[in-house]
Chain A
Amino acid sequence: MTSGDPVQPPRRVDRAGLVIAASLAVLAAVLVWDARGLQSAAMYGMGPEAMPVVVACGLALLAIGNFIDALRGNLPARESADPVPVVLVLVGLALLIAIIGFGGGFILATSALFVTTSAAFGRRAILIDAIIALVMSTLIYLAFDRLLTLSLPAGPLERLL
């Protein structure tokens, strides 16, 4: 950041950076839109709409800052990312949420997450992992729910215990 640095040759525009800047601008707009719906009920001092507006101004300025950075290509270099494992982990999380949401219980939900994550990190022995996951989550369930009286969501498997 010192002024003595040699001037960098202009790099190409960073598209991801532009998307980030745009997202920040949208966020700022949402804040202002939401704040307009508030009625200032406070008789004295600041109302509830002041802080959102301040934050929105900050976000707008930062959107400009990020925009300039992106145009100059000032973003740090990125390595390529492999989308497959990321998607797998997200599928695991989605399964977990769905199983809990539909009352499938803690053991099934966490087992699903365990197996998909493990697969995302390169394991292919899905059957063995599933057994490990079921045993582990059953033990966790027994220890925390039964012994330590933490309430974890119960499904068909939990009711068998």
Chain B
Amino acid sequence: MFRFPARLVGAAVALTLAAANPGFAQQLELKLMAPAAPGGGWDQTARSMQQALVASGVARSVQVTNVPGAGGSVGIAQFVNGAKGDGNHLMVNGFVMVGALAMNKSPVTLEQVTPIARLTEEIQVIVVPANSPIKTAQDLAAAVKADIAKVTFAGGSAGGVDHVMAALFAGAVGAEAKKINYIPFSGGGESLAAILGGKVTAGISGLSEYEGQIKSGKLRAIGVTSEKRIAGSDVPTFKEQGIDLVIANWRSVVAPPGITPEQRKTLSDAVEKMVKSDAWKEILKQKGWEDAYLGGDAFADFLKKETARVTDVLKSVGLVKS
């Protein structure tokens, strides 16, 4: 990764030259918004993209900005309003934003942005503290059935994938999904602390975020949401344990509204080039993300269908008033 052991002064000169020289304009100078606080999944996606775009030579510079708040509702509002027509601006988004926008009755919707590509998919996991009496998903199911209010789930923002998953879990084990006691935390760090400290019964998150804790034995993973068991992992799926719970947290990247078809093509090509680069593949391996690249109109379709599906789930569990 450190192929340029250039001295800073040299780098600064090169930077100024590049800015003055129109021949360099081929290389993009991108702004990339992560509509979440630093450290979370979208932020990591954005910073990984930054790394891969620069390392693979697709972009000369990528500036990541964080606009946290309510599952990305704040970020997308600012993105749609502030970056309209800006062909050098991208925003990371994903599953969580779909639900959040529906719940907030946001005036800004995902129909307004220009879809570029789906990038990754992440398997979700339910964890409990190492000293918890709950050992398997069936134990948790029993606890939920016994008294749903007393089983507290910690996870990300209200209406996000973690919240939806808690509701789906309750539904799948035959409890009343409406009554789940779900506690949203603002950052991955805060909810992890609450789980480690035994303040909540269980925690829901993407598998990679808690991987270190699971490996070190501080947390116990009681189930993952993939169809089949992940290669090389000894964590059982929910399906194996007789609970029908399959869900994935996808992440994608979109452009602002009002960009020209050429600008859209430039951005799509850049993202496609990045996805195919070695730097990106290396990052995926490192973070344990599944490559789920889906570009162009296929992604636009997917986004539409997923929006409809998530809104339905949220309505059926009473998170969105129909």
- Chain A residues with Cβ below 8 Å from B215 are none
**A149 and B321 contact, CB distance less than 8 A:** no
Considering only CB atoms, which chain A residue lies closest to B29 in the complex?
A149
- Chain A residues with Cβ below 8 Å from B61 are 149
- Chain A residues with Cβ below 8 Å from B12 are 147
Q: Is A146 an interface residue (CB 8 A)?
A: yes
Given contacts A39-B321, A43-B179, A43-B181, contact A147 B16 (CB under 8 A): yes
**B63 and A151 contact, CB distance less than 8 A:** yes
**A44 and B181 contact, CB distance less than 8 A:** yes
* Size category, A interface: under 10
Considering only CB atoms, which chain B residue lies closest to A146 in the complex?
B19
Q: Is B273 an interface residue (CB 8 A)?
A: no
Smallest CB separation, B153 vs chain A (Å): 12
Q: Is B145 an interface residue (CB 8 A)?
A: no
Q: How many A-B residue pairs have CB under 8 A?
A: 19
- Chain B residues with Cβ below 8 Å from A39 are 321
Chain B positions 1-52 with a Cβ under 8 Å from a chain A Cβ: 12, 15-16, 19, 31
Report the separation of the CA atoms of residues A147 and B18 in the bound assembly, to the nearest whole angstrom: 12
Smallest CB separation, A52 vs chain B (Å): 17
Smallest CB separation, A45 vs chain B (Å): 9
- Chain A residues with Cβ below 8 Å from B146 are none
Report the separation of the CA atoms of residues A149 and B31 in the bound assembly, to the nearest whole angstrom: 12
Considering only CB atoms, which chain A residue lies closest to B19 in the complex?
A146
Smallest CB separation, B146 vs chain A (Å): 17
**A151 and B181 contact, CB distance less than 8 A:** no
Considering only CB atoms, which chain B residue lies closest to A145 in the complex?
B19
**B16 and A146 contact, CB distance less than 8 A:** yes
Smallest CB separation, B319 vs chain A (Å): 8
- Chain A residues with Cβ below 8 Å from B142 are none
Chain A positions 97-146 with a Cβ under 8 Å from a chain B Cβ: 146
Q: Is B230 an interface residue (CB 8 A)?
A: no
Considering only CB atoms, which chain B residue lies closest to A142 in the complex?
B16
Report the separation of the CA atoms of residues A43 and B16 in the bound assembly, to the nearest whole angstrom: 57
**B16 and A44 contact, CB distance less than 8 A:** no
Report the separation of the CA atoms of residues A151 and B19 in the bound assembly, to the nearest whole angstrom: 13
Q: Is B149 an interface residue (CB 8 A)?
A: yes
Task: Please encode chain B, from 145 to 162, with 1 for each CB lying within 8 Å of some chain A CB and 0 for all others.
Answer: 000010000000010000
**B31 and A44 contact, CB distance less than 8 A:** no
Q: B-contacting residues of A (Cβ < 8 Å)?
A: 39, 41, 43-44, 146-147, 149, 151
| Cβ-closest 3 pairs across A and B | A44-B181, A43-B179, A146-B19
Q: A-contacting residues of B (Cβ < 8 Å)?
A: 12, 15-16, 19, 31, 61, 63, 149, 158, 178-181, 319, 321
Given contact pairs A146-B19, A147-B12, enumerate 8 new A-B contacts (beta carbons under 8 Å).
A41-B158, A43-B149, A43-B181, A44-B149, A147-B16, A149-B15, A151-B31, A151-B63
